[in-house]
Amino acid sequence: MTAYVFITGGVVSSLGKGITSACLGAILEARGLRISMIKLDPYINVDPGTMSPFQHGEVFVTHDGTETDLDLGHYERFVRTAKGGRHSNFTTGRIYETVIRKERRGGYLGATVQVIPHITDEIKRCVEMGAGDADICLVEIGGTVGDIESLPFLEAIRQMGIELGHDRVVYVHLTLVPYISTAKEIKTKPTQHSVKELRSIGIQPDILVCRSEQPLPMEQRKKIALFTNVQQKAVISAYDADDLYKIPGMMHEQGLDEIVARQLGLDLQAADLSEWEAIVEAKQNPTSEVDIAMVGKYMELKDSYMSLVEALQHGGIHTRTRVNIHFIESQSIERNGTECLSGMDGIVVPGGFGDRGIEGKIETVRFARENGVPYLGICLGMQLAVIEAARNLAGLTGAMSTEFRRDTPHPVVALITEWQTGTGKVEQRDEGSHLGGTMRLGAQSVSLAKGSLAASTYGATTIEERHRHRYEVNNNYRAQLEKAGLRFSGTSVDDLVEMVEIPGHPWFLASQFHPEFTSNPRDGHPLFNGFITAARHHHKGVLPKVREA
């Protein structure tokens, strides 16, 4: 029978509730449990697929092609048994949508449909569905206690506590314990208030995880325990860590997993955190370092590229390399040229939508290709590599994706419906956005050409990777582009381009899929290991610089 750990947040947002939940999952998994993880999001959007990365950070894509909250990325990176999917992320919008559909079908037999019990019942049904057959299901509730939107979720988890009993439900509350420098004092009042708020809706937390800059002194832990009716040992100090991967160890040291296990009456094997310790050790003792330029559009909000940044770091962990990522706004390259890229050991153009900064990214690809700098293109970064090669290697002036220029003379990247008609004409399209339509989503199998850089990097000729895009390389141009020097080294089962490379270049590899979604710190990922290794060689000047211009 699955037990539940509910994680709520208080005081302020952005305390790292997702990471905390993921780390708790990691230490419980390290004690031999099977974990599932769910995120409940109070906003009204049915899923985060249409939300701006500016506001909401990255959209994480699961194996089954669900567009989810970025916290699901943390879960998959920290917990091996937690495989996210369509039953792992529920928003208010999705809950209401289901209830309203059922009401329209007459499913409530004339009853007045209300938040309690109909919405809360649906929330509970979703949580039980998402829990699967795990030993423990961790459920993170988005937002902070006191938000109007999160009330139905909190009410639903309160009910579960009563229905399942105290030995099957644990409530964890994450709060902030600020240090006021002018008074030189640590303040516990916001935590007290936050717990009071939680108790007023009927939830007494069992564990408090207190975020603070410095480790929380015993005196404050005592005080918090007293005022919140929580056992003193269950007041955990989650102080700022210089390395994300130290957090599982930090939490285990304070007995967080044991407190959960005791309450649930579980007698567990000792925690094996050796893999996490190895990661911390590898990060602390790099044998080299590399400077990687990431040229994109949302550079002021690093959360938009969360998984990619993480995956590059995983490449660093597995090659013992310190990876310094330099975020560069592609529009600044349009204004000031590629000067800022010289000195970089590797260049990444990540996925993206919309045409802002496109020419700057194409110039970036050109710089990497002409100067023999290791290049990793992801999704849009691959499409732009094809466009760059079309323009500058195949002489197809004005080559472009129809996403950005509908009347391009050479639609080397276009919607399948556009290039399959052979006319290059757009038949039907919703303007300017990636809403609706046929987004290719989720894991699909990719064949890699024998003898290619792609195949040697993966050490395999069949792989599976996740997708999130609508536009495809136009197969009508493949022969011409291949002749000009581009190799299509990865293809899908329906013969769509999945990977491109440039033979003769030290390391130039781009994918239509998103490898960052399947990378995790413990296992790493071949593509990122390969890229960082190439960047290391470049750093040492081992690779020949080819100039093809």
Instruction: Give the residues lining the site for ligand GLN (CB under 6 A).
Output: 351-353, 379-380, 403, 434, 468-471
Amino acid at 522: R
The least CB distance from residue 546 to ligand GLN, in Å, is: 27
How many angstroms from the chain centroid is the CA of residue 7?
Answer: 19
The least CB distance from residue 532 to ligand GLN, in Å, is: 21
Distances, alpha carbon 98 to alpha carbons 93, 103, 121, 264, 435, in Å? 9, 9, 11, 32, 21
Q: Please say which residue, 262 or 434, places its beta carbon nearer to ligand GLN.
A: 434
The least CB distance from residue 104 to ligand GLN, in Å, is: 33
Provide the 10 A C-beta neighbour count for residue 287. 10
Catalytic residue among 23, 498, 516, 539: 516
Q: Which residues contact 8 (CB under 8 A, 6 or more apart)?
A: 141, 145, 154, 157, 171, 172, 173, 174, 198, 203, 205
Can 126 be counted among the known catalytic residues? no
Q: Are 91 and 59 in contact (CB under 8 A)?
A: no
The least CB distance from residue 133 to ligand GLN, in Å, is: 33
Q: Please say which residue, 76 or 403, places its beta carbon nearer to ligand GLN.
A: 403
Q: Which residue is nearest to ligand GLN (CB)?
A: 351
Residue 513 CA to residue 359 CA, distance in Å, equals 22
Catalytic residue among 469, 514, 525, 538: 514
The least CB distance from residue 386 to ligand GLN, in Å, is: 12
Residue 507 CA to residue 504 CA, distance in Å, equals 8
Q: Tokens 């593509």 belong to which residue?
A: 527
The least CB distance from residue 510 to ligand GLN, in Å, is: 11
Catalytic residue among 67, 140, 379, 525: 379
Q: Are 34 and 81 in contact (CB under 8 A)?
A: yes
The least CB distance from residue 434 to ligand GLN, in Å, is: 6
Q: Please say which residue, 122 or 403, places its beta carbon nearer to ligand GLN.
A: 403
How many angstroms from the chain centroid is the CA of residue 237?
Answer: 26
Can 516 be counted among the known catalytic residues? yes
Q: Please say which residue, 112 or 438, places its beta carbon nearer to ligand GLN.
A: 438
Q: Please say which residue, 239 or 353, places its beta carbon nearer to ligand GLN.
A: 353
Q: Please say which residue, 122 or 418, places its beta carbon nearer to ligand GLN.
A: 418
Helix extents (H) in 348-430: 358-371, 380-392, 416-420
Q: Please say which residue, 143 or 351, places its beta carbon nearer to ligand GLN.
A: 351
Residue 199 CA to residue 201 CA, distance in Å, equals 5
List b or e across 344-372, with b for residues whose CB sees 16 or more CB atoms inside 10 angstroms. bbbbbbbbbbeebbbbbbbbbbbbbbbbb
Can 379 be counted among the known catalytic residues? yes
Distances, alpha carbon 314 to alpha carbons 173, 241, 524, 527, in Å? 30, 18, 5, 11
Residue 116 CA to residue 322 CA, distance in Å, equals 52
Residues taking part in catalysis: 379, 514, 516
